[in-house]
Structure formats: C-alpha cells, structure tokens
Amino acid sequence: MLYSNSLIYIELQESEIPWLKIFTHVPHKEFSECSSKEKNAIWNSLEIIEREMLTYFQPTKINIASFGNMLPRVHWHIMARFENDSYFPEPMWGVKQREGFKLTTPMEPFIEELKAVLASRFTTS
C-alpha cells in the first residue's frame, strides 16, 4: 500500500507504466454510494497523482478510469501513458501493440515524493 487515510487507500499496480489505483476503505459498489468526504478524498488524490505523474514522468497522456466490472467496488485507475508503451493507444488491458517498452524514469523517487505530497495535503488520518 502506497498511502492510506481513514477514507481511501492507494496502491501501486504492477505494470510497465506508472499505474496507481485508489480505493475506498468501505467497499461501495457505486460512486454514488460514497459519502461526500470519500468523494472529495478520491477527487483530491486523483488530481494530486495526475499532477505528480505529469511533472515527474512527462507522459504523452494520463488515463483515469473507473470500471469495477471485474472488481465490483469503487476504485480508480490512474496511468501515465507513453506513445511507445506496449499498448498505446489501446488501454493497458487491450491488445498489445509492440514489444520492448522500458520506463526510463525510476519509480522510487516518484513514489517517495507522492507519499510526501499526499501526507501533506490530507488532514484525515
């Protein structure tokens, strides 16, 4: 787990690209079931993660998605996409387009900076 407070937690998805997932602690099936505080925590963390990914990785595009078909609970995917990643322009669970993508920017400094920013921006523990 990358980050957690009383409302949400954030995990790193194992992938060739930077890919994080935000979950509510309460296993809501639909976003409309979330409290206002949970919704605000999700939106705030989505914005923080997107900005940090844009600054650090300088990707072609950030993808943000919430499906919940395989895991029927509220969760969001945030992915930094690159024109030369293995699936671009397809979704990461789509048809692979090419081989050989390697992320040239290390994940560890990004994760440490993101943890610090999230901790400083959220007052809920």
For residues 10 and 45, the answer to whether their CB atoms sit within 8 Å is: yes
Provide mean pLDDT across the span 17-34: 96
Tokens, residue 117: 């920013």
**Cα–Cα dist 3/9, whole Å:** 6
| 69: confidence class by pLDDT, cuts 50, 70, 90 | confident
Side chain identity, residue 34: C
**Half-sphere exposure of residue 31, counting CA atoms within 13 Å on the CB side?**
12
Complete domains list, the chain, with CATH = 3-109 (3.30.428.10)
- Name every residue whose Cβ is closer than 8 Å to that of residue 118 and which is 6 or more positions away in sequence: 3, 10, 45, 48
Whole-model pTM?
0.93
What integer pLDDT is reported at residue 123 of this predicted model?
Answer: 62
